Amino acid sequence: MNLDILIFAAHPDDAELGMGGTIAKLTAEGKSVGIVDFTEAELSSNGTVESRKEEAKKASEILNIVVRENLKIRDGSVSIEAKAEAASGVVGDAIKLLRKYKPRVVFAPYFNDRHPDHIGASKIVKEAVFFSGLKKIATELDGDRQQIHRPDKLYYYMQTYEFTPSFVVDISNYFDTKMKAVRAYKSQFFNPDEKGELTFISDPKFIKYLEARARNFGFQIRVEYGEPFFSEEAIELEII
């Protein structure tokens, strides 16, 4: 299966929080989108690994993505040195997925953030995107040697720390879908029917913050809601 877009995230719910509206927009336009989560988020203060799996499945259905994989890196240990279940380096595992799905565009967490796992995930993806295009780095999948593949673009999505965006995507028609996907993680975000630890993201103010941020970046491009992205390379733009 070849994908148009492959998104990497440190934890299930990161992709939805950072770019759920953009995902919904892309899939509505007929683009094939997949998500790779590095961890099962077992260190989360609320919920369990099993409940998080079910929540991720529901969120994926809401966003209409075609594939979701989890590398099962130990939560809190997402770094270049991390090992996946198969005991190979995590960069190598990311390369295998890039060569498996051959995405045209890859998204990763921004490389400076509050959570160390987000920073680690960003570094892993950047290395994997580059090395996936080198012939002398050989990988196998199901016993077959993989063909090299380097995506056309690598973009970074915003998590906690803000940056000056390279571009902003208009998600005005998809903000409600984004929030449905976020709220699918009912163990993680404020829910009056759920009792759990008060955390940075379970605080009821967090959801308000998400909306305020989307409105802020939407305002910057004169629409209702927007999601910001960063590119380390120049971006070609058609003026009209």
- Assign 3-class secondary structure to the chain: CCCCEEEEECCCCHHHHHHHHHHHHHHHCCCCEEEEEEECCCCCCCCCHHHHHHHHHHHHHHHCCCEEEEEEECCCCCCCCCECCCCCEHHHHHHHHHHHHCCCEEEEECCCCCCHHHHHHHHHHHHHHHHCCCCCCCCEECCEECCCCCCCEEEEECCCCCCCCCEEEECCCCHHHHHHHHHCCCCCCCCCCCCCCCCCCCCHHHHHHHHHHHHHHHHHCCCCCEEEEECCCCCCCCCC
Whether 37 is in a domain gets the answer yes
Number of domains in the chain: 1
CATH for 38: 3.40.50.10320
Which range of residues forms the domain containing residue 136? 5-230
35: tokens are: 């998500």
Give the per-residue pLDDT at 83: 55
Residue 45 lies in a domain: yes
Q: Say if 34 falls within a structural domain.
A: yes
Whether residue 147 lies inside any domain: the answer is yes
The pLDDT value recorded for residue 104 is 97
Tell me if 149 is assigned to some domain.
yes
| Within a domain: 68 | yes
Closest C-alpha to 100, from 50, 168, 149: 149
Q: Is residue 140 part of a domain?
A: yes
Q: What is the pLDDT along the chain (240 residues), one digit of tens a residue?
A: 899 999 999 999 999 999 999 999 999 999 999 999 999 988 887 778 899 999 999 999 999 999 999 999 988 888 877 655 443 589 999 999 999 999 999 999 999 999 999 999 999 999 999 999 999 999 998 889 999 999 999 999 999 999 999 999 999 999 999 999 999 998 877 676 767 777 777 778 888 999 999 999 999 999 999 999 999 999 988 787
Identify the CA nearest to 213 among candidates 160, 156, 174, 155.
160
Is the residue at 67 inside a domain? yes
